Every structure is written in C-alpha cells, then in structure tokens.
Amino acid sequence: MEHTKLQCLCLLICSLIVLNGKTVLGGNQTSNENLGMVDITILESAVSKGAVCLDGSPPAFYYDKGHGEGANNWIIYFRGGEWCYNVLDCLNRTKTEKGSSKLAPKQRSFYGILGNNKTENPDFYNWNRVMVIYCDGSSFTGDVEIVDPVTNLHFRGARVFHALIEHFLVIGMKDAKNAILSGGSAGGLPALLHCDRFRALLPNSARVKCLADGSYFLHKKNMKEIPFMDIVNEGLITLHHSAKMLPSSCTSKMRPSLCLFPQYFQQEIQTPFFIVNSMFDTFQINKTFPGYYEDLNNNTCSATLVKTLQDFKQEFLNALPKQSNCSSSRGMFIDSCLIHSQILSGVGWNGFTVHNKTIAEAFSNWYFDLSPVQLIDTPDMPLNCYKFPSITSFCT
C-alpha cells in the first residue's frame, strides 16, 4: 500500500481552515467556486408529508448544480453521525444539527467525491452533487406516526428519505443518465438499505449504483457483553420502528435488529454497490473494544491487543461479499488505515491506496464498468496512513 502525497495533507489542512474559519450568510442553492462552499436548502414542502427531523423541523441539504457533460448526472451523499436509540439521546440531538435543521451550518465545503475541482475529482466534479444533513437519528429508517406531546420527538427518517429523493427527481434527477446513492458512516447504511428503492425511482436506462463509506458495521458474535451495535440496532427497531424499512427476506429469517448489519442483508441487494472501509475501522474498534484505540495511539501494543485486532480483521473480511462469488456488481476498497469514513476527504479520496489504486481510481473504474474492483489490503495490523514519509504500522 502506497502513502498519500504531502500535498494531500495540505489540502486537508486548508479544508479545515475553511470549515472552521468561514462564516457566510446567503441564499439557497448557490456555491463559491473558489472555496467550494455550498449553501443550505431547507425543504419546507416536506413538512406537509410528515417528513421532518427529530425536532419537527424540515429536512435540509446542500446542492451544487451540475453543468456541462455532468448536467444529467447525480451524486446524493448522506452525512453520518451515529444514532439515537433512546429518548434521552434523541432529545439531546435536537440541540444540534443531528436533530434539527435549524442548527445546521448555512454553508458547507465539498471535497473528495463531492469536490468541484476537475484535477482532483475528474469524473464527478461537474455532476449535480448533494449532501443531505442527518437529523433523524435512525439512518433514515424511522417511521412513527404518533408524536409524543411531552418530548415532541418525531421519528420520521424513512419519510425524510422519500421526500428528499422525490424533490431531487422533480428538479432534474428524473432525467439522470448516471446516479450514485452514497453516504458515510451512519449515512452510508441507508445507501445500502435504500439502494434498490433508489434504483426503482430512476430511469431504466440510467447507470445507478450505490456507495457506502465506513458503513460496513460488523456483527460481533460470541462476545461476553452485548456489543454496542447490537444495543443501537435494538433501540432503532423499538424507538424508530425501523423494521418496516428492512428487507423482509431478512426479517423473516432472523431478528429485525440483525437485519441492520450489512452482512445479513447484502445478498438481497439487486443494485450494484461498492464498499469503502478500513478493516481496522476506528469507530468499530472504539465501540467494540473500549480503550484499545488509545493503546494503539500510545503504541502500547500488547499481545492481547494484537490478537484482538487480527481476529477482528479476519472476522470483518469473512463477512464481506465473497470474492469467489463477486461479479462487477459487488465492488470494494478495503484498506488497513486506522480511520473511519474516507471519501469526503481529499486525502482519503486521492491519497490512500490499495494495490497502487486510490479510492477515486478504484471507484471510477468500477462505476463506469471499466473493470471489476475488489481491492483488499494485506497488512496484519492497522497502518498510520498520515505518517510521513512512509507508512508505518501502529504495532511493530
């Protein structure tokens, strides 16, 4: 695996400066080409459909209109941000953009797969590029009619998904020649769960595929304590009534909460999809093995930690779509970086490589049917992919 170039790190630093240091107030659906800043759009019309955030505010998104040869091509990207799986968590989220569009930034920068720079993002820079804010706490799966008069919480993530996609169809996506449903972390899960629904709404002639980044949440078996993701998924089923949005072919065989794990419903997805993930995903390591991430960063690599990570890696790889059965409809880029989601970062999109291919190159080759892509890295331990001048293992 080769390392990202120094200029990619500079790009990331510049991105953070723009994000943290720029405050702009303006109208909807405009962008600043030089800064890559895109204004928020509040979808007020969704309220009448009951498609609202946790606090009842309308859903929102950031939209940079396509142009030139990309005018009829679309990328929809769902932001992530974990989940709320009990009432207290959901109430706390209403005080942030993760539960209320009222608190979302007026503008956001687009980088990585959403970037508008032709050199850095040559295949998608001029497409219609949309970033959806994540304010429902259920990975866009909730659908509860009743609103609690005490908490005023709305569990309507599935309705938000449908209202947004309907809006994008009206403003031009109905004529799409190419379309990608994507997302990162908790926002990448709906890119898989809703992949076939998305495909069904678009023209039969369109090339439609899905991309999940840092969203292949592993179901850990045979643990002494109930794993974090099992607690989350049970909470989503109970609180958000998420089971209605899960594949019936899966829920008829096992507990609905298990059908939120990609390994149990991936075989039912008919639309081609692509997985970008680290086999040492930091979110999953943090939540599954509390304290181990700090040990890694402190280079405290005990024999127990090494075995735990190697076992996790193998279990993760075993859960992925089997390569022997993979066709071009199942693409993947599985690296060894100690990292979570990657495709919205210029460093991740253009820098991290597996078998001499960047994520951008691998995904483009797969999406445009140039070649099947199932790239899996080989290191036994996670790599420090930001360290210069060469990549080093965290446990050496």
Active-site positions read: 185, 281, 340
Q: Which residues contact 324 (CB under 8 A, 6 or more apart)?
A: none
100 with 135: CB under 8 angstroms?
yes
Phi, psi of 85 (to 5 degrees): -125, 15
Q: How far apart are CA 295 and CA 179, in angstroms?
A: 42
Q: How far apart are CA 101 and CA 40, in angstroms?
A: 10
Q: How far apart are CA 307 and CA 315, in angstroms?
A: 12
Residue-wise burial string across 166-189, b where 16 or more C-beta atoms lie within 10 A, e elsewhere: bbbeeeebeebebbbbbbbbbbbb
The secondary element (H helix, E strand) that includes residue 358 is strand 357-358
Q: Which residue has the tokens 């992925």?
A: 320
3-state secondary structure of 326: coil
Q: Measuring CA to CA, how many Å separate 278 from each of 96, 270, 281, 284, 375?
A: 28, 24, 5, 10, 11
Q: How far apart are CA 306 and CA 311, in angstroms?
A: 9
